[in-house]
Structure 1
Amino acid sequence: MTALNAKALDANFDVEDVLSRIRLPDKIRMLTGLGWWHTEPVPDVGIPSVRMSDGPNGVRGTRFFNSVPSSCFPSSTGLASSFDDELAYQVGKALADECRAKGCHILLGPTTNTQRSPLGGRGFESFSEDPHLNGTIAAAYINGVQSQGVAATIKHFVCNDQEYERFSSDSVVSERALREIYLKPFQIAIKKADPWALMTAYNRLNGTHCSENFDLLQNILRKEWGYEGLIMSDWTGVYSTVESIKAGLDLEMPGPAYMRGKAVERALIGQKLFPSDIDDRVRKILEILKRAYASAIPFNGPEEGVDTPQLRALLRKAAADATVLLKNDNSVLPIVGSPKKIAVIGPNAKQAFTSGGGSARLLSSYTVSPLEGITAAAQEIGSTVDYAIGATSHVLLPLLDGLIQQNSGEPGALVEFWNESPSASFLSTYANLQEPLPACAWSTPTLGSWCFLADGVDDTEVNEICWIRYSTTFVPDESGDWEIGLNITGSGNLFFDGNMVIDLSTNPEQGEGFFGLGTVDVHATVKGLEAGKAYPLEIRLSNAEFIGRGAPFTCRGGIRAGAAKYVDEEEGISNAVKLAKESDVAILVIGLNHDWESEGFDRKDMKLPGLMNRLVSEVLEANPDTIVVHQSGTPTEMPWVDKAKTLLQAFYGGNELGNGLADVLFGRVNPSGKLSLTFPKRLQDSPSHPSFGQKGEGYGQVLYNEGIFVGYRSFDIKDLKPMFSFGHGLSYTTFEYSDLQVSQPTAEGSFSVSCTVKNVGKRDGAEVVQVYVSDVAFSLPRPVKELKGYAKVWLKAGEGKAVKVELDRDALSFYDNRAEGWVAEAGEFIVYAAASSDDLRLSTKVNLPETFTWRGL
């Protein structure tokens, strides 16, 4: 990267002065990023590159490949289920600290899209189906990030609710639903936190791509809401030159330019654009640069990790607080005393599924699996733990990570690069692997077996088209037959212990991996492996064919290799049932993982994978008191739910998933989470079911037929009972509500709600008081009730406290197209203090004497 010269700016530079000194060609360059993670520098004026990094639940840094390890916090659906603004703020601060360590000025999070369907591939990345909870938790997160001088980037603006045809799909939404459901969380977060950056969505909105939607970016965001931050595109999410610049899209990401650069020059010549249009966009980039200077984060600084006892404690607290107790019929939880034998069963137990897939995934600095966390807690009370997988849940085999080592004995593999084919038959047979190869152009060790080579490679040594060897030794931890899996970006083969076992060089079929750029995943079985024995494993590939396909960014290919011990389906379930029967406590950990929930594709249904439902049913039959832990980012069907007496929703818990879960199971933490999403009994009950994903009406169109009735609003209006309601979550203690009071609304519609909450159980714990508002008489259809506020209160056993929630005009208003703004109609409203959306504890009435309308924030 270009070094700063003697004219480097400082935090006090004058934006207009600097703007006037930048030459027009340099201004045009600044409209597009420098590579994946930086803005373009202008050394002649002293402008350095600003660095950004993916979130939202961690800070990857500037590399997918060989990135500096990072802390992974719980997925957003889990964080929102804490209903804890302070926790979200502390998570934001911790993420900013990691940004500072990685020299990052802009964090690409939080994701604040309203979850429209349980099937959305990135559903786990957003906070909630409810716009108030979504926007409020987002605001707390943003305030935490920006309190440390790091810019937060709220995304994806707007209606980026599905992955199917995500670059072209057209979200056809009524103005009212757009305002009340999909724009509202952004509006709340901008009002309460003022994020310094915003990212546009890939999709179209009512016919026009969001990155060039003048009404969305200029009329609503800039003029109506008064937003003054930087507006950037999602990666490769710009589809026009003139239109996107005129609409107010400041920065095209990533670089090099696809829709800007020379195209901007041509548009200026044709006077479709003018220098003032370019200045308007560059001005915003300079303003974010000024904030970067004020942060004192070095430009082009080194990347380091953060690992402190305080950070680990926060990760653990976040994992526990993101856990929701859904059922505890026989008070099996918490586990007390000293049970002699504890069974841990299930495919989600041995692996730590810290996050969903796609750009949210990162290399965690460390992980604690549920099995590890439970085992550590059991040892402290003198219990033994036995494990059985029962049934598998993966789409792709688990990564080789932890089971591979280099020739030196160090963990990982060696990756070598050549700029031309090292031999005539480099990819073909194992015999050729024994032949010496010429010295490679560049090599590097790597810890893992997921290598997305879009970055992290020395550009001065390795050409864009290259040949790659990944070599390691595989050391299985169990004897038996093993399955090996591979998908790549490029063309290549996998060799195991002297034999080519996977062929992806002969017309490989395209798959969904590596953001849709990879091949399908191919499996092979290797028989009779011995635990602890080292087996040579080598992958050879070339990216020449991939480059020829015209990828939208520079990438030298990708490798994803996995392995798992073969499990006979009948034997696996039989072993699990036997273990559950003979154990004092059985804990069954099931669910989804990043193979099923990921950027790039949507789920096809709400079902648990493979034989998971059968495993649960048979284990519950063998041991009715089995504790079922369900891990996912969004809902699944649970046909066995009535048989399960004890059920926890764990979400994706980040680094400390296992310890956080164990803290809840063994009663160190009294669970206080409440579901941020409605869990339907079946997919057909989901409001968006008739029109989601591939069910779009006509080419590329997705009709938001449910209008404003999203999530619990739909279940209420249809009087349809879900499996678990929005806001539902139990505790190991019991809370009573009393003395609901509501103040008279002011002329601007502000009022307060208060009640007393008492812990009448025997354990200390926290309760979330949810305030819902219902309009009694209205001129347009309205939901039965809407969440408009909440408060989390910690109470010792026997303690009572007054809880107060302040509400404003949002609590009484709806969007009226006729008035082209928000309307609060005079009349009576019912206010509820609730433990969930279907557990309304107290109610009272409030009267608004006069109708009023409003626009803006």
Structure 2
Amino acid sequence: MTDVLRKEWGFQGVVVSDWGAGHEHWEDLKAGMDLEMPGNGQHYLQRVVDAVADGKITVEEIDRTATRILTLIEKAKPVLNDRWTYDLQKHHQIARKVAHQSIVLLKNKGKFLPLKKEKEILVLGELAKQARIQGGGSSHIEPHRVDSLCDALDQANIVYEYRQGYDLHNAKSTFHIPEAIHAIQENQNVIVVVGLRDEDENEGFDRKSLGLPYAHNKLVEEVAKKTKNLVVVLAGGSPVEMPWVDQVTSILNGYLPGEAGGLALRDLLFGDVNPSGKLAETYPRALSQVPCSDTYGKERKQVHYRESVFVGYRYFDSAKVDVLFPFGHGLSYTTFEYSALEILGNTLRFNVRNSGVRKGSEIVQVYVGNVTKAHYFAAKELKAFEKIHLAPRQEKTVEIELYERDFMFYHPKLKRFVVASGEYEILIGASRQDIRLTGIISKEGEADLPKDSSWESTWYAHLKGKPSDEDFKAIYDRGIQNEESAGKGKFTIDSTLEDMGHTLVGKMMKQVSKGMLMKAGGFTKEDRRSNEFKMMFQFVMTTPLRTTMLMSQGQLTQSMANGIVELANGKYLNGVRRFLGR
């Protein structure tokens, strides 16, 4: 934070910790952090005073931090003193337009979409009424208004039938599916809304799989057996497996579309707006296709990125993996043609034509492939993109400038970014897989770059199977630190209650934690079934005790936390004394 961020990059602002990420305040201050979040009352202040007295940190270092914070306050005063007003309805329409451009049409066999408003429609799935519009945790806000898909259909006077299809609070229950299937009529268009719930993905814990809830998948599968007039609308903030993908006609990925998401979904489903969103990640067919699937989530104290640069589409593309939907993918109700690529230095110029009969928008994507053999590289990497809007049959010339940094790579021996001499492929298209135009740019890079051949006989040269610890050690000079499994006698203040879950103390603390969470969060007994409480409790169970202590606002003291550790380690007398603060 000091050498790179402030001295090398010239950053003059305030450095703020993540929520609960600060461990020892005086050490954090000395390293360059200015503001610890959340505030912890008086928990660390005396330790900072003691550190000054012991000469571990100087008053001048503390003054520098205080000055940066006071400077930020002074800069913010004019804005904070102004009285701002805004138009709620206007902002709701802005949210609607944002959602229009974010929702992605993944599949549209036989141009099934857009639907006709006058045809009979059946809507299935509780998420069509109880819309999931945003993530949880620190990103959660309370909007003044939320329009679900059913709300939007009602507002447009579109006639439809609705069946619940599944229970959002019971992922395994198929109780509502027979009723939903029985409601399907011949030649009726069916919209099935399925997706991830707050307890499936949220802040504070990792997902266990890429699967949708069981009942959601089962609903889609059973509907697909009854009719082909089927569009699946997905709700969720991350990739999911779709075992039914070949049985459905159309798929519209709504992501988490915000307060006006229902209106936007209606506009896209019925063709009032043409889809133009593109995937910002790869949707694999199964979690096993991901190179880190064997190790992710199994390392408690640290995470080793064994896949190196081959993360996301860089791996799937380079290893030629057959995925569900590739990075950058997104369909439209019209079609686009690319032509006439010219390369002048680092400037790319080409034409894009709307060859269909609807107005539409296309996101053109520019990838660069480093084929110099100076190191191991992904087959190609996204370096630029631009969204263009075209009327039917309209053609535009697109000009995109690449920069020298777009041809650089980090040289592990020189420990800086360099350009290697040689040829670089230019690939332009509608997704990382749908490449329409190609060309070559030659670069005269640095001479006599040191050769790094440590990777040539490793996974990074062939990308077959999964990267091993030995492969990773070959390119990572520090090696891999083996983690000891958490057990009696080995628990520390950086262990979690989940780590201690098999101990008697851990089982007791699980129940105590529920009570503390209810008190700290203002939850009632009825709230314990809510998604919010489940998410918060999962966060408490999987967060290190040190962090829980800092975030508890005094509910969990340091003495209590140390007592829990002692008890879990079998030191019962010391544990009780510490827990009671004696």
Q: The TM-score by the shorter chain falls in which range?
A: 0.7 to 0.9
Q: Structure 1 unaligned runs (5+)?
A: 1-216, 397-566, 745-750
Matched, 1:292 2:76: yes
- Equivalent AA in structure 2 for residue 338 of structure 1: E
Map of 2:387 onto structure 1: 792
The 5 A counterparts of 1:530-549 are: none
- % identity of equivalent residues: 37
What is the aligned counterpart of 1:650 among 233, 239, 254?
Answer: 254
Residues 173 and 215, structure 2, Cα contact 8 Å, conserved in 1 = no
Distance of aligned partners of 1:753 and 1:294 in 2 relative to their CA distance in 1, 3 Å threshold: farther
Counterpart position of 2:181: 577
Q: Equivalent residue for 1:370?
A: 149
Match of 1:314 among 72, 91, 94: 94
Alignment partner of 2:247: what SS? coil
Q: Is the 8 A contact 2:167 2:173 kept in 1?
A: no
> Matched residue of 2:160: which SS?
strand
TM-score (norm 1): 0.51
Does residue 765 of structure 1 match 2:360?
A: yes
Note if contact 1:395-1:596 (Cα within 8 Å) is conserved in structure 2. no
Matched, 1:733 2:337: no
8 Å contact from structure 1 (residues 231, 249) kept in 2: yes
Alignment of 1:285-684 (within 5 A): 285-295=69-79, 297-298=80-81, 306-336=86-116, 338-339=118-119, 341-377=120-156, 379=157, 383-394=158-169, 569-570=174-175, 572-582=176-186, 584-684=188-288
The structural deviation recorded for 1:810 is 2.1
1:243 Cα deviation (Å)? 1.8
- CA deviations over 1:417-455 (Å, ceiling 9, x no partner): xxxxxxxxxxxxxxxxxxxxxxxxxxxxxxxxxxxxxxx
Separation in 1 of the partners of 2:74 and 2:170? 46
Q: Structure 1 604/799 Cα, relative in aligned 2: closer, same or farther at 3 Å?
A: same
Q: Which amino acid aligns with 1:353?
A: R
Alpha-carbon displacement from aligned partner over 1:473-511 (angstroms, at most 9, x marks no partner): xxxxxxxxxxxxxxxxxxxxxxxxxxxxxxxxxxxxxxx
Root-mean-square deviation (Å): 2.1
**Within 5 A, what are the aligned runs for 1:161-240?**
217-240=1-24
Matched to 2:14, the amino acid is L
CA distance, structure 2, for counterparts of residue 825 and residue 798 of structure 1: 42
Tell me the CA shift for residue 240 of structure 1.
Answer: 1.1
- Verify the 8 A CA contact 1:236 1:253 in the aligned structure 2: yes
Aligned counterparts of 2:447 and 2:220: Cα–Cα separation in 1: 54
Answer yes or no: is 1:752 the counterpart of 2:347: yes
Matching of residues 684-699 of structure 1 within 5 Å: 684-693=288-297, 695-696=298-299
> Aligned residue for 1:170?
none
In 1, are the aligned partners of 2:132 and 2:236 still within 8 Å (CA)?
no
Relative contact order higher in (CA < 8 Å, ≥ 6 apart): 1
**Could you tell which deviates more after superposition, 233-242 or 839-848?**
233-242
- 8 Å CA contact 1:347–1:389 kept in 2: the answer is yes
Structure that is richer in strand per residue: 1
C-alpha distance in 2 between matches for 1:735 and 1:573: 40
Larger helix proportion, structure 1 or 2? 2
Q: Per the alignment, do residues 258 and 815 of structure 1 end up closer, same or farther by CA in structure 2, a change over 3 Å counting? A: farther
2:193 counterpart SS class:
strand
**Counterpart in the other structure of 1:241:** 25
Once the two structures are superposed, the pairs formed by residues 705-854 of structure 1 within 5 Å of their partners are: 705-744=306-345, 751-851=346-446
| Cα distance, 1:678–1:592 mapped onto 2, change above 3 Å | same
Secondary structure of the corresponding residue to residue 587 of structure 1: strand
Q: 1:581 to 1:686 in 2, by over 3 A?
A: farther
Question: Does the 8 A contact of 1:627 with 1:646 survive in 2?
Answer: yes
User: How far off is 1:347 after superposition?
Assistant: 2.3
- Structure 2 residues not aligned, in runs of 5+: 450-582
CA deviation after TM superposition for structure 1 residue 779, in Å: 1.5
CA shift at 1:573, angstroms? Answer: 1.2
Counterparts of 2:211 and 2:260, CA distance in 1? 27
SS in 1 for 2:400: strand
> What's the TM-score, normalizing by structure 2?
0.74
Deviation at 1:593, TM superposition (A): 2.3
Measured in 1, the distance between the counterparts of 2:326 and 2:319 equals 14
Per-residue deviation, 1:582: 4.2
| Residues 842 and 793 of structure 1, relative CA distance in 2, 3 Å threshold | same
Structure 2 CA distance for partners of 1:259 and 1:778, relative to 1, 3 Å: farther
CA distance in 1, matches of 2:130, 2:117: 27
Which secondary structure state, in structure 1, belongs to the residue aligned with residue 220 of structure 2?
Answer: helix
Give the conservation status (yes or no) of the 8 Å contact 1:344–1:588: yes
Which one-letter code corresponds to 2:278 in the other structure? K
- Tell me the CA shift for residue 236 of structure 1: 2.4
Match of 1:520 in 2: none
| Structure 1 residues 264 and 337, CA gap change in structure 2 (3 angstroms) | closer
**Kept after mapping to 2: 8 A contact 1:753/1:806:** yes
- Asked if the contact 1:691–1:705 (Cα under 8 Å) also holds between the matched residues in 2, the reply is no
Offset from partner CA, 1:685-715 (integer Å, 9 cap, x none): 123212222x11xx52222111110000111
One-letter amino acid of the counterpart of residue 569, structure 1: T
Distance verdict in 2 for CA 1:288–1:654, change over 3 Å: same
State the shift of 1:219 in Å: 2.6
Give the residue type in structure 2 aligned to 1:743: L
2:183 is paired with a residue of what secondary structure?
A: helix
The answer to whether the Cα contact below 8 Å between 2:153 and 2:159 also exists between their aligned partners in 1 is no
* Alignment deviations for residues 11-43 of structure 1 (CA, whole Å, 9 cap, x no partner): xxxxxxxxxxxxxxxxxxxxxxxxxxxxxxxxx
Q: What's the secondary structure of 1:661's corresponding residue?
A: helix
Which SS does the other structure have where 1:703 is aligned? coil
